[in-house]
Amino acid sequence: MANFSAPMTGEQTFELNGRPARYTVLYFYPKDNTPGCTTEAMNFRDRYDEFNALDTAIYGISRDSLRSHEGFKTKLGLPFDLISDPDETVCNRFDVMKMKNMYGKKVRGVERSTFVIDADGKLVKEWRGVKVNDHVQEVLDFLNGQP
């Protein structure tokens, strides 16, 4: 996978190349401070130590602004950073922008998706159309099965 960079919380820039972790989890979600996205972020937060023990870094990505991300991260006490993608560059790279039904109206939005990338930048697993319940456990189960 080709390198890319994007702004993230803590006045940092995410760079795909040069990440120190064995694995990187990139989870795409629709919007800060919405019920499903809050639950998903808390689930990753609550299992953070297990990901850390597997030498795996976690990053959440949405189209929200850095200001929104900083507030969301602080409010939930997230130990990982959030990547801001307002122009959908990263979302388009991972093909997560989809037409969705929202209250009977068609809207274009982020399809909840998760990707695992190894230290060489190779995509090793993806989940699309993620359902929040039990998803973090699925990701951990996959990582625990890696050699």
Q: Which of 26, 37, 57, 117 is catalytic?
A: 37
- We find that the CATH architecture of domain 20-144 is 3-Layer(aba) Sandwich (3.40)
The DSSP code sequence of the chain is: ----EEEETTTEEEESTT--SSEEEEEE-S-TTSHHHHHHHHHHHHTHHHHHHTTEEEEEEESS-HHHHHHHHHHHT-SSEEEE-TT-HHHHHTT-EEEEEETTEEEEEEPPEEEEEETTS-EEEEEES--STTHHHHHHHHHHT--
pLDDT tens for 103-116 read 888 888 899 999 99
For residue 53, pLDDT over 80 is answered with yes
For residue 138, pLDDT over 80 is answered with yes
Q: What is the pLDDT of residue 21?
A: 81
Concerning whether 91 is annotated as a catalytic residue, the answer is no
Highest mean pLDDT among 19-33, 73-87, 105-119: 73-87
- What's the predicted TM-score (pTM) here? 0.94
Q: What is the pLDDT of residue 29?
A: 97
